[in-house]
Structure 1
Amino acid sequence: MTTGRRQQVDKKEGLLSPPPRPAANPLLDGPILRTLLSLAWPNAFAFSAGTLVAIAETSYIGKLGIEALAAMALVFPCVMLTMSMSGAAMGGGVSSAIARALGAGDRDRAESLATHALLIAVFFGLVFMLGMLIGGRQLLELLGGRGDVLAQAVAYSQVYFGGAVLTWLVNILAGVLRGTGNMKLPSLMIVNSAILQIILGGTLGLGLGPVPQFGMPGVATGSLIAYSVNIAVMSWYLFSGRGRIVPRLHGLRVEWALFADILKVGVVACFSPLQNTLTNLIFTHMLAVFGTTVLAAYGIGARLEYVLATIAFSVAVGAVPMIGLAIGAGRIARARRVAWTTGLVALIAIGALASAIAAVPGPWVSLFTDDAGARDASRQYLTMVAPFYAFSGLASAMYFSSQGAGNVVGPVLAQTARLITIVAGGWWLAAQSAAATSFFALNATSMIALGILSGVAVALTRWGPRKKPVVSSAT
Structure 2
Amino acid sequence: MKDKHGLLSAPVPQVMTKMAVPMAYGLLAVLGFSLVDTYFVSLLGTEALAAISFTFPVTFFVSALAMGLGTGLSACLARLLGQGQHQDAARLTSDGLLLALTSVLIVAIIGISTIQPLFRLLGATDTLMVYIQDYMFYWYIAIPFLVIPMVGNAAIRATGDTKTPSKVMIIAGFMNGLLDPLLIFGIGPFPELGVKGAAIASGLSWLITFSVAIYLLRSREKLLQFNKPNITNMLKNWRKIAAIGMPASLTNMLSPVNNAFVMWQLAAFSTTAVAAYGAGTRLEAILLIGMIAVSSMLAPFIAQNSSANNPQRCLTAIKLAIRYSLISQLSIYLIIALTAPYIATLFSDDAAVISHLSLYLYIIPASFAMQGTMMAIASSLNGLNRPIAALSLSMIRSLSIICLSSIGAYYYGEKGIFFGIASANVLVGLLALYYAQQLRIELQLEIDNQLRNESQLKLNSETPA
Q: Normalising by structure 2, what TM-score?
A: 0.81
Cα displacement (A) at 1:352: 3.6
What corresponds to 1:186 in structure 2? Answer: 165
In the alignment, the residues of structure 2 paired with residue 39 and residue 218 of structure 1 have an alpha-carbon distance, to the nearest angstrom, of 35
In the alignment, the residues of structure 1 paired with residue 38 and residue 333 of structure 2 have an alpha-carbon distance, to the nearest angstrom, of 19
Identify if the C-alpha distance between structure 1 residues 305 and 230 changes in structure 2 by more than 3 Å, giving closer, same or farther.
same
What corresponds to 2:438 in structure 1? Answer: 460
RMSD of Structure 2 on Structure 1 (CA): 3.8
Contact 1:290 1:436 in 2 (8 A): yes
Deviations 1:114-170 (A, max 9, x none): 001111211222344355546667766777777877876776555434533332211
Question: What does residue range 207-246 of structure 1 map to in structure 2 within 5 Å?
Answer: 216-239=195-218, 241-243=219-221, 245-246=222-223
In the alignment, the residues of structure 2 paired with residue 180 and residue 96 of structure 1 have an alpha-carbon distance, to the nearest angstrom, of 10
Question: What does residue range 63-212 of structure 1 map to in structure 2 within 5 Å?
Answer: 63=43, 75-87=55-67, 89-130=68-109, 132-133=111-112, 157=136, 159-205=138-184
Cα displacement (A) at 1:359: 3.8
Identify if the C-alpha distance between structure 1 residues 397 and 181 changes in structure 2 by more than 3 Å, giving closer, same or farther.
same
Contact 2:77 2:93 in 1 (8 A): yes
Identify if the C-alpha distance between structure 1 residues 71 and 23 changes in structure 2 by more than 3 Å, giving closer, same or farther.
closer
Cα displacement (A) at 1:72: 5.8
Given the alignment, which residue of 234, 248, 261 partners 1:269?
248
Q: Secondary structure at the match of 2:71?
A: helix
In the alignment, the residues of structure 2 paired with residue 355 and residue 116 of structure 1 have an alpha-carbon distance, to the nearest angstrom, of 47
Contact 1:417 1:449 in 2 (8 A): no
- Mean CA deviation greater in 408-417 or 252-261: 252-261
Q: Which has the higher contact order (CA 8 A, sep 6+)?
A: 1
Provide the identity percentage: 22
Q: Tell whether 2:227 aligns with 1:250.
A: yes
Q: Secondary structure at the match of 2:7?
A: helix
Point out where structure 2 has 5 or more consecutive residues left out of the alignment: none
Cα displacement (A) at 1:204: 4.2
In the alignment, the residues of structure 2 paired with residue 214 and residue 438 of structure 1 have an alpha-carbon distance, to the nearest angstrom, of 45
Identify if the C-alpha distance between structure 1 residues 222 and 449 changes in structure 2 by more than 3 Å, giving closer, same or farther.
farther
Contact 2:184 2:193 in 1 (8 A): yes
Q: Normalising by structure 1, what TM-score?
A: 0.80
Deviations 1:429-454 (A, max 9, x none): 66x49633332332222222333323
What corresponds to 2:368 in structure 1? Answer: 389
In the alignment, the residues of structure 1 paired with residue 76 and residue 211 of structure 2 have an alpha-carbon distance, to the nearest angstrom, of 23
Q: Which has the higher helix share?
A: 2
What corresponds to 1:398 in structure 2? Answer: 377
In the alignment, the residues of structure 1 paired with residue 365 and residue 45 of structure 2 have an alpha-carbon distance, to the nearest angstrom, of 25
Given the alignment, which residue of 29, 37, 52 partners 2:9?
29
Identify if the C-alpha distance between structure 1 residues 75 and 188 changes in structure 2 by more than 3 Å, giving closer, same or farther.
same
In the alignment, the residues of structure 1 paired with residue 333 and residue 52 of structure 2 have an alpha-carbon distance, to the nearest angstrom, of 22
Cα displacement (A) at 1:425: 3.6
What corresponds to 1:424 in structure 2? Answer: 403
Identify if the C-alpha distance between structure 1 residues 371 and 269 changes in structure 2 by more than 3 Å, giving closer, same or farther.
same
Q: Tell whether 2:424 aligns with 1:446.
A: yes
In the alignment, the residues of structure 2 paired with residue 251 and residue 195 of structure 1 have an alpha-carbon distance, to the nearest angstrom, of 36
In the alignment, the residues of structure 2 paired with residue 459 and residue 229 of structure 1 have an alpha-carbon distance, to the nearest angstrom, of 43
In the alignment, the residues of structure 2 paired with residue 289 and residue 150 of structure 1 have an alpha-carbon distance, to the nearest angstrom, of 27
Q: Secondary structure at the match of 2:291?
A: helix
Given the alignment, which residue of 295, 316, 329 partners 1:337?
316
Contact 2:70 2:150 in 1 (8 A): yes
Given the alignment, which residue of 23, 40, 44 partners 2:20?
40
Question: What does residue range 278-317 of structure 1 map to in structure 2 within 5 Å?
Answer: 278-290=257-269, 292-317=271-296
In the alignment, the residues of structure 2 paired with residue 433 and residue 112 of structure 1 have an alpha-carbon distance, to the nearest angstrom, of 56
Contact 1:204 1:222 in 2 (8 A): yes
Q: Secondary structure at the match of 1:318?
A: helix
**In the alignment, residue 389 of structure 1 is paired with which amino acid?**
F
Deviations 1:361-400 (A, max 9, x none): 4665566556665555444433432333333332222222
Number of corresponding residues: 449
**In the alignment, residue 210 of structure 2 is paired with which amino acid?**
I
Contact 1:97 1:261 in 2 (8 A): yes
Contact 2:379 2:390 in 1 (8 A): no
Identify if the C-alpha distance between structure 1 residues 226 and 144 changes in structure 2 by more than 3 Å, giving closer, same or farther.
same
In the alignment, the residues of structure 1 paired with residue 76 and residue 325 of structure 2 have an alpha-carbon distance, to the nearest angstrom, of 24
- Mean CA deviation greater in 69-78 or 297-306: 69-78
Point out where structure 1 has 5 or more consecutive residues left out of the alignment: 1-21
In the alignment, the residues of structure 1 paired with residue 289 and residue 259 of structure 2 have an alpha-carbon distance, to the nearest angstrom, of 17
Q: Secondary structure at the match of 1:229?
A: helix
In the alignment, the residues of structure 1 paired with residue 278 and residue 192 of structure 2 have an alpha-carbon distance, to the nearest angstrom, of 23
